[in-house]
Amino acid sequence: MNFQAELRRKLRATLEGLVPDPEPFAAMLRPAQDPRFGDFQINCAMPLAAQMGRPARDVAQQLVDSLDLDDLCDAPEIAGPGFINLRLRDDLIAAETRKLLSDERLGVPVVPSSKVVVIDYSGPNVAKPMHVGHLRSTVLGRSLELVMRHLGHQVITDNHLGDWGTQFGMILYGYKNFRDDAAYQSAPVQELARLYRLVNQLCDYHDLRAELPKLRDSLAEQQQQVASDESAAAAQPKNKDLAKVVKKSREVLDERAAAIASAEKKIAAVDSDAQLAALAAAHPRISELARLETAKLHAGDEENVRLWNEFLPACLDALNAMYRRLGISFDLTLGESFYNPMLAEVVRELQDHKIAVESDGAVCVFIEGNAAPFIVRKADGAFSYATSDIATIKYRVETLHADVILYVVDARQSEHFELLFATAAKLGYGGIDCRHIKFGTILGNDRRPYKTRSGDTVGLESLLNEGIERARAIVDENDNSKPTPELSEEQRARIAEIVGLGGIFYADLKHNRESDYVFSWDKMLAKTGDTATYIQYAYARVMGILRKGDYAADDVRKLSGPIHLATPTERRLALQLNRFATALDDVVAEYRPNLLTQYLFETANIFAAFFDECPVLKEADASLKESRLRLCLGTADILRTGLRLLGIQVAEQM
């Protein structure tokens, strides 16, 4: 039973007569902070008392008197300023655990009113290999998908591919000018990616060269600015505002110097490479021409459309290979290109309703309180991702009938989504629950975005490979250190895959999604601590007990005797199993899978203590032995299910 939900329900009913809106007060029933306070605590007596102008302990007493929790709890206790401490009855925990253990859903009810939830996640660019930057969206989105499905929502996942943007113009330009036919024949995606990088580099080269004089001027200007600010500050050494101005001014100077250094570095990279330099010299207008290729594609140019259609299948194959590896499949893969035919209409509609206006040649929506406009048509007539994102909302609402749309996208795009949602609301989609499920950046040890040692972005493929390799080394070391190694080559490979991928996913999911976090192989694959491995190991230990005792899991699930809470640890474990449903509710409430990782880690932790203290196979009392066996399997079922909802697998033996 979801004890917390049940207790809150009762509290809410009691509060109904007392306050107009009981919900926030009912929410103040929480798990106890300290085991000495029991299992749950009610914290709402104090604020209620303040509101009613009565002593808090009196209010607490009144709540206790009218609550009637006898069927759930021992006598409630009022403590401190007015906390109400609740301890669940042991017989109730035992009885409810017994039910849970024979329940296929492990005590997790299906939501009473299911919603249509579109989850937009992963969203790679098709012509570029996926890299570490795609990890969080993919892993978080996948987990949210699985949890919401498990709770009974009608989830539609949609991979909103970047298959139509500026980068395609670069690829088209690259293909027409620089392609290596043999390479394209044997590995088209790799060749397209190379062409993209090449064109991108050459575009940068020319753009930066053109910009450099301006940058240098502005640097010189800033140097003078700093000098004058400094002398002003020197004249009034006690003036804090002037000191601040100097500081700011120097920061700007540093920024500009850094921008120039970075530009010079990129330019030098081309200049110092004879081949690149020759290409750059031969293609001085590459940026402009690449943009033109994009524009031609969007306008329906026959050759570009033909090439686009030729490139796409290979790109999709490559992506799908990656998703297969990650165990992911999408319900829909509607890239930006899908919305192309709708864009002109979107802009017209916005203009007709006077939502968008022309400004500096571009068609923009101005949202009150935001300085930046939402540009739905650029001055050159091209549409932007703002336009296609609006078209996407229209499609998801009108065709998919979405109630909720989740965008699992980097936090740096917050502003875009604020403008997007505000614009959508003006168009009449205010009733749809559109949410930016934002997440932070993965950092390296230097606290800069995670890169390889040489400064390149880390490819997702090689990241996964490295994780599995490192896991393999651990598997080997562990098994080889046993008196007689137990695992076959196939088993080791499979375990390495499960542990390696699980470690990467788990490390990502366990952090609060809005935080940046520092990527660390050692931490994510540590044999001990808050890792996937630790939880997977707990699962494998249960399976070890069953194997050793020669029990089939299905037979154990059919057992129906009483559950004994013979020790405090058994009680803790049983109660924890009943919290699974609460944990999943918590995940969905704020779209935070870290609440599930936390729950699973705690569960594995309690199980480890149980494993230490409570013998199963050696237990002489048959009824107690059966009870423990079932607690073990129930734990395993919950760990396996919980990990599965994070996109992580388990092994029977490791």
Instruction: Report if residue 600 touches RNA, rule: CB under 7 A.
Output: no
Question: Residue 568 interacts with RNA (CB under 7 A)?
Answer: no
Q: Which stretch binds RNA (CB under 7 A): 32-40, 89-97, 134-142, 180-188?
A: 32-40
Beta carbons of 142 and 181 less than 8 angstroms apart? no
Return the number of the residue (106 or 636) whose C-beta is nearest RNA: 636
Q: How far is the CB of 185 from RNA (least distance, A)?
A: 29
Determine if 142 is a binding residue for RNA (CB under 7 A): no
Q: Judged by CB under 7 A, which of 299, 548, 560, 568 binds RNA?
A: 548
Name every residue whose Cβ is closer than 8 Å to that of residue 654 and which is 6 or more positions away in sequence: 475, 478, 495, 499, 536, 537, 540
Contact range with RNA by CB under 7 A, out of 62-70, 159-167, 196-204, 257-265: 159-167
Query: What's the full length of the chain, in residues?
Result: 654
Q: Which of 490, 528, 620, 622 binds RNA (CB under 7 A)?
A: 528
Q: Residue 479 contacts by C-beta under 8 Å, 6 or more apart in sequence?
A: 485, 486, 487, 492
Q: Which window, 78-86, 133-141, 348-356, 556-564, contacts RNA (CB under 7 A)?
A: 78-86
Using the rule CB under 7 A, is 50 a contact of RNA?
Answer: yes
Q: Which is nearer to RNA, 180 or 613 (CB)?
A: 613
How many angstroms separate the CA atoms of 326 and 501, rounded?
Answer: 8
Alpha-carbon distances, residue 416 vs 165, 389, 407, 431 (angstroms): 17, 10, 12, 19
Q: Which is nearer to RNA, 130 or 155 (CB)?
A: 130
Q: Find out whether 653 and 543 touch, Cβ atoms under 8 Å.
A: yes
CA distance to 46, 51, 65, per residue, from 54 (Å) = 9, 8, 16
In whole angstroms, how close is the CB of 20 to RNA at the nearest point? Answer: 16
Chain positions 382 to 421 lying near RNA, rule: CB under 7 A, are 382, 384-385, 388, 412-416
Q: Which of residues 222-241 bind RNA (CB under 7 A)?
A: 240
Is 184 or 637 the residue whose CB approaches RNA more closely? 637
- Residue 159 lies near RNA (rule: CB under 7 A): no
| Interaction of residue 215 with RNA, rule CB under 7 A | no
| 23 CB-contact burial (10 Å; exposed 0-12 / middle 13-18 / buried 19+) | exposed
Contacting RNA (CB under 7 A), which of 175, 311, 421, 534? 534
Show the binding pattern over residues 605-634: x = contacts RNA (CB under 7 A), - = does not: x--xx-xxxxxxxx----------------
Token readout for 262 is 């970075």
The nearer residue to RNA, 62 or 653, going by C-beta atoms, is 653
Evaluate whether 578 touches 100 at the Cβ level (below 8 Å).
Answer: yes
How crowded is the C-beta side of 567, counted as CA atoms within 13 Å? 16
Binders of RNA in range 343-382 (CB under 7 A): 359-362, 364, 371-373, 375, 378-380, 382
Among the listed residues 533, 576, 635, 649, the single contact to RNA using CB under 7 A: 533
* Residue ranges in 168-207 that form contacts with RNA under rule CB under 7 A: none
Q: Using the rule CB under 7 A, is 594 a contact of RNA? A: yes
Residues in 82-101 that interact with RNA by CB under 7 A: 83, 85
Q: Please say whether the beta carbons of 91 and 99 come within 8 A.
A: no
Q: Determine the size of the site formed for RNA (CB under 7 A).
A: 101
**Residue 413 three-state SS:** helix
Q: Can you point out the beta strands (E) in 292-398? A: 356-359, 362-365, 374-377
State which residue, 95 or 609, has the beta carbon closest to RNA.
Answer: 609
CA–CA–CA angle 216, 220, 226 (5° rounding): 140
Asked if 107 and 144 touch (Cβ cutoff 8 Å), the reply is no
Cα(231)–Cα(234) distance, rounded to whole angstroms? Answer: 5
Q: Tell me the closest approach of the beta carbon of residue 67 to RNA, in angstroms.
A: 15
